[in-house]
Structure 1
Amino acid sequence: VVVIDLKENVRQGGARNRGIEIARGEYIGFVDADDWVDLRMFEKLYNKAKETKVEVVSCGLDYIDSTNTISGANIKTNLLVNGIIHEEQRELLLIGMQNFAAGNLIRKSLLFQHSIRFPEQIFYEDNYFNVVVGLYANGYTYVFECLYHIYINPDSTTRRRNTTHVSQRITVLKMILNHFQQQGYSKKYHKFLNYYTALTLYLCAFEYLDRQDMPSYHFIQKIHLYLHSYRIDRCNPYLLKHFGYRGTLAVWLLRHLPKIFWHSWILSNRLHLNTWPLMHLSRKNQKS
């Protein structure tokens, strides 16, 4: 065990980057402070990685509250990519990669070969990290067990009510789009980036509304303006498959008619309806 004593708070991304730099093993994994793992998690992920010769292995996650009750689980029932990746499967991997840095085992040489690191001093840093890992990994596979346990802490930095850090999703999204553009991949992976932009901006709007006691339309308008500047392809097969028609309609309203989007949410919330498009998808993708 090596203790790294950082003299300043560099947040999650900075701390993970320092760990990557001094790591001496063949593979790297991450565990967040409040969480815990199955005693055999890393053994199982490592054996799977050696057996399949891939660079990234993931496992299922579950969510446990303060009463030790499992409040949800996330196991991929439909694995989009399994094994060595052929280029035509790359977009499927990018869509299938989970948003968490935790619950993965990643070959260290992949991170150094492509200079992959976490953004520092920002929330949602693992969104950027995982997308870039998915862009360069030569293979991916999965262990169909919930081996990583996420503690649901309502006072954590990303679950606390009435904060506006959710806007940093947009900052991280811009970093992802810039990386693809700088590396010459924007056109090649246009469908994924189009889908990912729509998802991120919808989640940004949803999480803000869901976590504010007195939400402001001004914040929704800011998201609308950015979404309006980016052309969302309504015929994108990934958008239709993962959002459905109701979800696609919600994104369209946010892009073109934000006031109707706003008032629809307010009405649904006041009537305590659980029918808002993508509500389940949004909560599943929220960060711990």
Structure 2
Amino acid sequence: MDSKISIIIPIFNAEEHLSKCISSVISQTYSNLEIILINDGSTDGSLAICKAFADKDKRIKVISKKNEGVSSARNTGLDVATGEYVGFIDSDDYVSELMFEKMIKTMIDYQAEVVECGYINCDYNGNIRKIYELKESVLDGEYSCSYMYLSRQNTTNYNWNKLYKASLFIDIRYPHYAYSEDYWVNTMIFNKCKRKVTISDCLYYYVFNEKSAVRSKFNIIKRMDTINAAENLYDFHSKHFDKLCSFIAFYICNYVLTFYEMISREENKNEIYQKQLNEIFIKYFYKIDNNTIKLMGYKLYVYMLVYRINPYLYFLLKRMIYSGKSIYCKNKK
């Protein structure tokens, strides 16, 4: 078991927690690693930290480039990676020292092309917020791998808790979306994955960061990339596994509801985007089949039905539910 793993870490202004991240990688019990640090135009001390680690460990490669975002950084790493397998880590997270030993052993034992593990959500002090444990499973065939991913059965959207066979990325690179780039890439990967294995071990530590892209101030222009990515995938699967398009349609409609609600809460409501969201919803709502509703949840579908009747009625319903929860929490205290 001596196959090389390329580990790609995109870095942007991460000096506060970068050392912990890199230390967790160089301390792996599996040593045949190529550690690729992509400094994506950092303006703090991140590059100096990378160089200091590289001076001590010959497995580390440091590439510094202008700031173009996480997708560009990952693609740069993929372009230079020489390992038979590839994994990704976010610069403010860290991993168990056993992570890549367990992942590569599973990969080889099962002759898999993707291995996924559970993860732990924690804060910067290591306090556990939640444990996300997955069930052990083996999936064979491109359709089964795609079905389980798009139906969100025993999986996650992320790339950092997965180990991939590098050959899967020969004709795949991260798109330049502000959001949902992982969703897009994983959908394309599973469309060509012949075997995927899931292990129950929680080996990745996802550090909750208030300043991350997902929790930054709502920007409808950027957030529309979530829907743009999904629409692209819908068109793709309409020519490949068309039965899976229903799951993507559900994904799109669910985000339409989320974005409509967030726009409606703003003082200056963007009516142009509200209209655009309504048009997108109508286009995909009737593409959702009964199997998808059963798997994804009736509660969300009821919200969609209310939205279809009247978007503003949906907003009032959600506001009423939110207000009720707030009152309950105050009374509980």
Question: TM-score range, shorter-chain basis?
Answer: 0.7 to 0.9
Q: CA–CA distance in 1 between the matches of 2:76 and 2:248?
A: 28
- Give the aligned partner of residue 26 of structure 2: none
Task: Tell me which residue corresponds to 2:18.
Answer: none
Secondary structure at the aligned position of 1:116 is classed as coil
CA distance in 2, matches of 1:62, 1:121: 26
> Which residue does the alignment assign to 2:254?
202
Asked whether 1:9 is paired with 2:62, we answer no
Higher gyration radius (CA): 2
Structure 2 contact 142–191 (Cα < 8 Å) conserved: no
CA spacing shift, 1:26–1:119, aligned 2, 3 Å:
same
Give CA-to-partner distance per residue, 1:228-267, whole Å, 9 cap, x none: 0124355421222221x22211122233421211111122
Identity %: 20
For residue 85 of structure 1, report the CA deviation from its aligned partner.
2.4
Q: Which moved more, 1:234-243 or 1:211-220?
A: 211-220
**Partners of 2:79 and 2:168 in 1: CA distance:** 13
Q: Please tell me whether residue 26 in structure 1 is matched to residue 84 in structure 2.
A: yes
The structure 1 residue matched to 2:180, chosen from 124, 134, 141, is: 124
Query: Is the 8 Å Cα contact of residues 114 and 164 (structure 2) preserved in structure 1?
Result: yes
Is contact 2:177-2:229 (8 Å) kept?
A: no
User: What whole-Å deviation, never above 9, does each CA across 1:137-159 have from its counterpart, x for those lacking one?
Assistant: 00000121111111111111221
Map of 2:291 onto structure 1:
237
What is the aligned length?
A: 264
Task: Give the RMSD, CA atoms, in angstroms.
Answer: 2.7
Return the letter of the residue paired with 1:180.
Answer: H
Q: Contact conserved, 1:14 with 1:120, CA < 8 A, in 2?
A: yes
**2:204 maps to which residue?**
148
Tell me how far apart the structure 1 counterparts of residues 312 and 320 of structure 2 sit (CA, whole Å): 12
- Alpha-carbon distance between aligned partners in 2 of 1:122 and 1:69, rounded to the nearest angstrom: 29
Q: Which of 198, 222, 229 is the equivalent residue of 1:172?
A: 229
**TM-score, structure 1 normalization:** 0.81
Mapped partners of 2:124, 2:264: distance in 1: 23
CA–CA separation in structure 2 for the residues paired with 1:212 and 1:35: 34
Contact 1:37 1:147 (C-alpha < 8 Å) held by counterparts: yes
Tell me the equivalent position of 2:110.
52
Match of 1:271 in 2: 324
Deviations 1:44-103 (CA, angstroms, capped at 9, x unpaired): 1111000000100000012112443211222224x6x51432746642344344210111
- 278, 299, 304: which one pairs with 1:251? 304
In structure 2, list runs of 5 or more residues that go unmatched.
Answer: 1-59, 329-333
Q: Determine the C-alpha separation between the residues in 1 that align with 2:263 and 2:90.
A: 22
Q: Distance in 2 between matches of 1:54 and 1:274?
A: 50
Give the secondary structure class of the aligned counterpart of 1:137.
coil
